[in-house]
Amino acid sequence: MTRIAFVFPGQGSQVVGMGQALAAASPAAAAVFARADDALGESLSELAWTGPADALDRTENAQPALLATSIAYLEAMRERWGADGPEPAFAAGHSMGQYSALVAAGGLALEDAVRLVRERGRRMQASGSGRDGMMAAIIGLDDARLPELVDEASRAGVFGIANRNAPGQVVVSGERTAIEAALDIAKGLGARRVIVLPVSVAAHSPLMAEAAAGLREVLETVPFADPVPPLLANADARPLRTGDACRDELIEHLTAGVDWLAAVRAMEDAGVSTFVEIGPGRVLTGLVKRIAPDAVALAVDDPTAPDGLAMPTLPTHAIS
């Protein structure tokens, strides 16, 4: 039996035009965008489809637009599969993609999720205001040197590993003083390349503590169901099987790192051999190929297709 995981991208995968051709071709996808628009009381779909890009890229817009687009892809696939579609063994999202994964697993209603990620984006932006936060990617540093990097950089200010995306690829986050120090330290430890990211929010760092506290109050008013399949935690790759555990995950991962490397390896160890990226772009597909080269990694986004959808050929006997 083949085990499949559905994985959902996070902020950064958004692009103007995402999901437009899909919604024109698929009633199920169009219905997702309509529900998202109604939930927010505005035309999120128009922003996703026509931009402008600078407005779409704002955190409070990018996150709900990405979620709606990812779920539109999922529902278009289910529409085509019918009752014979495969059931994934796990759902996992990269950062904000956890909300998409939870909707896919039945843990959150689409309308609640869209409103939550809008609020999440606003609170992240507000929490970062007045804090000189910064994020940067470090490429080619041996993972064994990460504890040394964290220890030394933390002496210069608030610092943490925001994303461990693949072997030798991490994103760091925190106060500017600490990040600038970390880039020099990383070069000295053997990193091939360092890249300052064009963001104003130090996501997945202790600088998001205020946002996490505020979001907790909001999340506690929203009903969560037990996800089927289980959700993989971002920080430690635990399978989360209850709604309460998923709610805690969404709070904690604002200040904790996303260990995508550990998540993919945990799913592979549990027998997953096929990963399907559901949403715009192919970022996670590329990361999975680096982490688990023996696995099959597929993306459903295909800009060359008339409807933008590449229907993956998956075994209908896939087990969960």
Report the catalytic residues. Answer: 95, 204
Distances 30 to 19, 42, 43, 76, 238 between C-alpha atoms, Å = 9, 15, 13, 9, 34
CB atoms under 10 Å from CB of 189, counted, come to 17
The CA–CA distances, whole Å, from 142 to 28, 148, 196, 216 equal: 45, 11, 19, 35
Tokens, residue 227:
């996800």
Q: Is 272 helix (H, G, I), strand (E, B) or coil?
A: strand
What tokens appear for 38 in the block? Answer: 């109604």
Tell me phi and psi for residue 87, to 5 degrees: -105, 125
Q: Which two tokens stand for residue 123?
A: 């609170």
